[in-house]
Amino acid sequence: MKVPNFIKPLNIDKERESIINEFRVRSGKLDYIPLIGDDYMTLIDIFLFKLNNFIELTNVKISQNYLLFSNGEYLDELVKLIGIKRNEEIKPIAKVEIKVNSSTFLSKGTKFTDTKGHFAYLLKDIYVSDTAIVEIEAADYFKEPYETTTLEIPNIYINEINIKEPFGGFKARERDDELRERFLLALHRFSTAGSEKAYLFHVLSVEGISKANVYQLSAGVVQVVYLSKFSGQIAKEKIKEALKDKIPLTDDVRIKEANKINLDLVIEIAPKQNFMFNEILANADFRLKEFFSTLKINETPHISQIIEVAFDENTASVEVKTPIPAADRDSIIVLNSLQINKANHA
């Protein structure tokens, strides 16, 4: 159980000895020696078990009110105290054009597919008399531009369905560490006019904005750099709206999308035991992809960090074969592909 170091768990053995000594004094049985199966000991152990559970629960509740230790629903309740809410997952949305040969009605939730296992759902009821452009929401995140243009349940009145705007706008559910960071940024807001953290708080609170960096270009000129699944124009409008009436009038705010530095990472792993390599490979693949997803704009990971992430107890050595590019204040490193090879000498 992760708790602040000033919270101490119950020392059951110490408390049991203390209770026995108190019992000897109060009962006058100074020569009392506990025996296995002793009724007194059974009652004492039951009491200590109940007390220990109560103290553990209390310690958890106390620790969850400290930002560094709080997580999940506890963290949600903690940040709610200053009016912050966790950003939920935003699924990709696309626009499709539907052409019919006779008027027809499609209800909200109508299921579209690409016949290859990818699905999307109609966002609201629509009555189509000739041609209509509607929005559909992906069931999951689509990395590829899948063509979900087939109704799972065929409709004889529909002639044609075409993608007009590809899926976009995805944002994963805000992780605990991201929510903690936004909580700390929120404490700054605009109590100090034009502060970097105040800008970051409002930009990162925008739906669909996943990363941001803010810096001063020159006196009174603020540069906002962002990463988003939205198109550039939509993202900029959302950021402008979020900053409207919240920034110093003297600030000239400029907004641009972060440059993506695509990294094709190749690493080589030597397992301690050859038969463990498949498990090592799966674990390293998961951890490395998760690590790169957390990188910030202007953050360049050191090779030692990558080695540490890929390493586990079954690994003999890890070697990074790819030079790691440097990210500047306008760019972010994105893991484009990951290749993990087994070391020849393993």
Pure H helices in the chain: 12-27, 39-63, 72-80, 176-186, 196-204, 232-243, 277-293, 303-310
Is beta strand 119-122 parallel, antiparallel or unpaired with respect to 158-168? Answer: unpaired
The mean pLDDT of 76-103, rounded to a whole number, is 84
pLDDT tier at 190, thresholds 50, 70, 90: very low
DSSP 214: E
pLDDT tier at 52, thresholds 50, 70, 90: confident
More confident residue, 341 or 71: 341
pLDDT tier at 67, thresholds 50, 70, 90: low
pLDDT at 191: 38
- pTM, rounded to two decimals: 0.49
Question: What does the alpha-carbon distance between residue 104 and residue 115 come to, in Å, rounded to a whole number?
Answer: 23
pLDDT tier at 5, thresholds 50, 70, 90: low
Residue 324 has pLDDT above 90, yes or no: yes
The pair of structure tokens assigned to 192 is 């100090």
Question: What does the alpha-carbon distance between residue 10 and residue 23 come to, in Å, rounded to a whole number?
Answer: 20
Question: What does the alpha-carbon distance between residue 274 and residue 46 come to, in Å, rounded to a whole number?
Answer: 49
Half-sphere exposure of 236 (CA within 13 A, CB side): 10
Which residues neighbour 307 within 8 Å (Cβ) at sequence distance 6 or greater? 318, 319, 320
In angstroms, what CA-CA distances link 10 with 20, 50, 56, 59, 331?
Answer: 16, 11, 8, 10, 50
Q: What is the average pLDDT value for the chain, to the nearest integer? A: 84
Residue 6 has pLDDT above 60, yes or no: no
pLDDT tier at 2, thresholds 50, 70, 90: low
Question: What does the alpha-carbon distance between residue 309 and residue 191 come to, in Å, rounded to a whole number?
Answer: 38
Residue 142 has pLDDT above 70, yes or no: no
- 5-9, 22-26, 313-317: least confident range: 5-9
- 10-19, 140-149, 215-224, 287-296: least confident range: 140-149
pLDDT at 3: 52
Backbone φ and ψ for 277, nearest 5 degrees, come out as -60, -40
- Residue from 336, 229, 228, 331 nearest 288 by CA: 336
Question: What does the alpha-carbon distance between residue 326 and residue 240 come to, in Å, rounded to a whole number?
Answer: 29
Pure H helices in 68-107: 72-80
Residue 63 has pLDDT above 90, yes or no: no
pLDDT at 192: 40
The mean pLDDT of 266-282, rounded to a whole number, is 91
pLDDT tier at 228, thresholds 50, 70, 90: confident
Question: What does the alpha-carbon distance between residue 67 and residue 103 come to, in Å, rounded to a whole number?
Answer: 56
Residues 140/142/145/146 CA torsion (nearest 10 deg): -40
pLDDT tier at 12, thresholds 50, 70, 90: confident
The mean pLDDT of 225-253, rounded to a whole number, is 82
Which residues neighbour 207 within 8 Å (Cβ) at sequence distance 6 or greater? 87, 90, 171, 238
The mean pLDDT of 135-141, rounded to a whole number, is 86
pLDDT at 29: 85
The mean pLDDT of 167-178, rounded to a whole number, is 79
Question: Residue 137 pairs with which residues in a beta bridge?
Answer: 93, 121
